[in-house]
Amino acid sequence: MHGVCFMIEVNNIRTSFSTGFIRRRVVRAVDGVSFQVEEDETLGLVGESGCGKTTLGRSILRLIEPDEGRVVVNGTDITALSRSDLRRFRPRMQMIFQDAYASLNPRMRVRESVAEPLKIHRMGDRAAIDRRVRELVEEVGLNEEHLNRRPYELSGGQNQRVVLARVLALRPEFIVADEPTSALDVSVQAQILNLIRDLGQEYHMSCLYISHDLGVIRAISNRVAVMLEGRIVEIGKTADVLDRPSHPYTRRLVAVPVRETPEPLESPVFPAAPAMVEERPGHWVEETTA
Amino acid sequence: MNAALLEVRGLKVGFPTPDGLVRASDTVDLELYHREILGLIGETGSGKTVLGMAILRLLQPNTVIEGEIRYRGRDLLSLPEDEMRKVRGREIGVVLQNSGTSLNPVYTVGDQIAEAATLHQGLKGSEARHRAVELLDAVRIPDPAVMAREYPHRFSGGMRERALIAMALACSPSLLIADEPTKGLDAVTKREIIDLFAEVNRDRSVLFITHDIEAAATLATRVAVMYAGEIVEIGAAGEVLSDPAHPYTRGLLASLPERGMRPIPGSAPSLITPPPGCRFSPRCATKDCKSEHPGLVEVGPGHYARCMLYDRG
């Protein structure tokens, strides 16, 4: 498309879960989502809880298998990869989760946690791994004395730094960050966000940044996608979408005080996804009937 | 100014540990007036929750507590336990942190709300259940009669928060202590909870504990900022949050994504051996005050800050 090389191309991803034992019900959590992320770009993904943000993030990395759709990462169609090929591809795409404490093995010291991905993917001998671990720990703003600590001896922010070091160890091209700062205090959040932004540039990572905090999204992402009931309803440049929202839902999301109680969402009915219209260059909105 | 509903005087709370006494709250003075929402903000570990739990006397028995907590003139700290039980829930309601774990998973939400009404107001079975439905309706749970018979896992995060608010309000307490009621909620749900909070607490005093500065700005009439167990700034919400006097408050506001996202360097100090002098001095860019410990000084009408910039002995 116009000669732009997309790092990540997500094409018509659908993921559903079935619930219920006797009366099976199918919930379609992600309902036909397509977008691209360019090299070095951070795409923010916003929406309220239950809209499918996390499922989308996981589906893209095949941590949950999507029902259909295609994900192309730097030319490789990862949806077509076999399990073993996918495993070999894993270092190139990584995920950061919301709860850093739960992401780390409680029995491992920082040194072991950060070395683990390097060992699994056989990136160097013991001495090289040890050197790299020290380098990484410093890069994320920790120091020597933290190397022998375990997760319970670190604060939430420090644990998130360890997680970041583990992710960077593999030099991924693409990361999905799922609310990595929502459990942190604002001043710690600012430290971690700055770190993610700076290291993202240094390591040339493309990033899908999932958050429900519009302030965070504004600070960290180049473009933003707004998700509602499993679909992206609006996508474009961050300032453009947040300052001049077009879709009624985005307007509600960015409105300062919402006084009226919104109607409870109806039980899942799945009409055909409306088409996306390019309203302004690079700013797409789902077509509304109104 | 009307008389204070709650007065905290020289409150010190310490937790004995093998490494020494953790001074989670150090000489806190605070008044809460009738029908005021006081926002208590500060970072994790600054002592916000401990202060709330100390007022309710819900801290573990080996906790070292000094000072006075006067509610309607009575010192809660010297009250016998059976008297205190009548205060909790009936006089002082509480919405605890973590709506997910505050509800009992094996009882229906309605039964849990009815429990308060049964215990404190002596309502019987169907009356209490009826009251629970009324309360769920008041906090805008759709289909309250049906939802009262559901178990907590059927409730979303926002609905659980509403249920907890309903539970806290079951006996119409004069004081409500709410600990991080907007934590973990998405932007839209958070705004709904804040709106609901403002509405149901019109005639009540609320101690609103939060690290969400936006929520405090929307809801609170006054704001107290805690750092390392001390109140470092207190005053009218608009004033403290738009024209902060203490360097820590300024740093906290500057670290918000929408205000530049500049973090405060360093991290919070140990509460076992707090830094000498001003506790914020190791991280403070404005002034280096290792030798003097500043007191709370009035910097504007009803606006106090604990900083050597203003404390001239």
Q: Tell me the pLDDT tens digit for each residue of B184-230.
A: 788 788 888 999 999 888 889 999 999 889 899 999 999 999 999 99
In a domain, A1, yes or no: no
Phi then psi dihedrals of residue B136, to 5 deg: -60, -35
Pair B92, B127 in one domain: no
For A11-79, the DSSP string reads EEEEEEEEE-SSS-EEEEEEEEEEEEEETT-EEEEE--TTSSHHHHHHHHTTSS--SEEEEEETTEEGG
State percent of chain B over pLDDT 70: 99
Q: Which of A212, A215, A259 sits opposite B256 (nearest CB)?
A: A215
Examine residue A12 and state whether it is found in any structural domain, yes or no.
Answer: yes
State how far residue B167 is from chain A, nearest Cα, in angstroms: 21
State pLDDT tens for residues B152-182.
Answer: 999 988 899 999 999 999 989 999 999 999 8
Which chain A residues are Cβ-neighbours of B213 within 8 angstroms?
186
pLDDT at A289: 57
Closest CA to A192 of A230, A159, A154: A159
Residue B50 inside a domain? The answer is: yes
Residues of A in contact with B188 (CB under 8 A): 48, 252-253, 258, 262
Number of domains in chain A: 1
Q: What is the DSSP string of A232-283?
A: EEEEEEHHHHHHS--SHHHHHHH-S---SPPPPPPS---PPPPPEEEEETTE
Same domain, B111 and B202: no
Q: Does A187 sit within 8 Å of B261, measured CB to CB?
A: no
Contact between B278 and B270 under an 8 Å Cβ cutoff? The reply is no
> Please, which pLDDT band fits residue A265 given cuts at 50, 70 and 90?
very low
Are residues B201 and B75 part of one domain? yes
Tell me which chain A residues have a C-beta less than 8 angstroms from the C-beta of B256.
186, 190, 215
Averaged pLDDT for residues B44-61: 93
Q: Give residue-wise pLDDT tens across range B228-255.
A: 999 999 999 999 999 999 999 999 999 9
CB contact under 8 A, B257 and A216: yes
C-alpha distances in Å from residue A15, one per residue of A26, A28, A33, A81, A86:
10, 6, 10, 18, 19
Instruction: Read off the pLDDT of residues A1-54 as tens digits, 9 standing for 90 and up.
Output: 444 567 899 999 999 998 877 778 888 899 999 999 998 899 999 988 888 999
Nearest CA in chain B to A210: B186
- Mark which residues 178-237 of B lie under 8 Å from A by CB: 184-189, 191-192, 195, 211, 213, 218
Distance CA A96, CA A93 (A): 10
Query: Is B211 close to A213, i.e. CB distance below 8 A?
Result: no
User: What predicted TM-score, i.e. pTM, was given to this entire model?
Assistant: 0.82
Q: Per the CB < 8 Å rule, is B257 touching A212?
A: no
3-state secondary structure of A230: coil
A17: CATH: 3.40.50.300
Closest alpha carbon within chain A to B139: A261
Per-residue pLDDT at A281:
85
CATH number, domain with residue B261 = 3.40.50.300
Q: Which of B140, B156, B251 sits opposite A187 (nearest CB)?
A: B251
User: Nearest CA of chain A to the CA of B308: how many Å?
Assistant: 23
- Are residues B169 and B123 located together in one domain of the fold? no
Determine whether the interchain pair A185/B184 forms a contact, defined as Cβ–Cβ distance below 8 Å: no
- Comparing CB atoms, the residue among A182, A187, A261 nearest residue B263 is A187
Structural domains of chain B, count: 2
pLDDT given for residue B54 in this prediction: 96
Q: For residue range B269-293, list pLDDT tens digits in order.
A: 889 999 989 999 999 988 788 888 9
* pLDDT of the residue at A258: 41
Residues A154-204: tens digit of each pLDDT:
988 899 999 999 999 999 999 999 999 888 888 889 989 999 999 988 999
Residues B53 and B117 reside in one and the same domain: no
CB A13 within 8 A of CB A60: yes
Copy the structure tokens of residue B132: 């629970």
pLDDT in tens, A68-85: 999 999 999 999 999 999
Compare CB distances from B211 to A185, A219, A253 and report the shortest one's residue: A185
pLDDT grade for B313, boundaries at 50, 70 and 90: low
Domain annotation covers residue A74: yes
**What is the residue range of B254's domain?**
4-103+155-306
B82 & B117 share domain? no
SS (H, E, C) chain B: CCCEEEEEEEEEEEEEECCEEEEEEEEEEEEEECCCEEEEECCCCCCHHHHHHHHCCCCCCCCEEEEEEEECCEEHHHCCHHHHHHHECCCEEEECCCHHHHCCCCCCHHHHHHHHHHHHHCCCHHHHHHHHHHHHHHCCCCCHHHHCCCCHHHCCHHHHHHHHHHHHHCCCCCEEEEECCCCCCCHHHHHHHHHHHHHHCCCCEEEEEECCHHHHHHHCCEEEEEECCEEEEEEEHHHHHHCCCCHHHHHHHHCCHHHCCCCCCCCCCCCCCCCCCCCCHHHCCCCCCCCCCCCEEEEECCEEEECCCCCCC
Best CA proximity match to A57, nearest among A7, A98, A118: A98
> Locate tokens 């360019």: which residue?
A38
pLDDT of B72 > 60? The answer is yes
Angle of helix B247-254 versus helix A186-202 axis, rounded to 10: 40
- What pLDDT score was predicted for residue B99? 77
**Whether residue B32 is found in the same domain as residue B174:** yes
Is residue B313 a part of any domain in this protein? no
Residues B282 and B135 in one domain: no
- Is B311 contained in some domain? no
Percent helix, strand and coil across chain A, each rounded to 5? 35, 25, 35
ipTM beyond cut 0.90: no
Q: What is the pLDDT of residue A4?
A: 56
* Cβ–Cβ below 8 Å for B192 and A258: yes
**Which residue from A185, A190, A261 is facing B261, i.e. has the nearest CB?**
A190
Q: B44 and chain A: CB distance < 8 Å anywhere?
A: yes
Q: In a mutagenesis test of the A interface, which of B211, B213, B255, B264 is the best target, namely the one with the most A β-carbons within 10 Å?
A: B255
Q: Which of B58-67, B86-95, B231-240, B262-271 has the lowest mean pLDDT?
A: B262-271
Tell me the pLDDT tens digit for each residue of A195-252: 999 998 899 999 999 998 888 999 999 999 999 999 999 999 999 999 999 999 999 8
Of B120, B138, B154, the residue that ends a domain is: B154
Range of the domain at A202: 6-286
* Per-residue model confidence as pLDDT tens digits over A37-51: 998 899 999 988 888
Residues B123 and B71 in one domain: no
Task: Decide if B235 contacts B223 (C-beta within 8 A).
Answer: yes
Q: Which of B154, B188, B218 is the last residue of a domain?
A: B154
B95-124 residue pLDDT tens: 998 877 899 999 999 999 999 889 888 888
Q: Which residues of chain A have a Cβ shorter than 8 Å from any chain B Cβ?
A: 47-50, 155-157, 182-183, 185-191, 193-194, 212-216, 218-220, 252-253, 257-259, 261-262, 264
Probe site for chain A from B99, B140, B154, B188 (most A CB atoms < 10 A) = B188
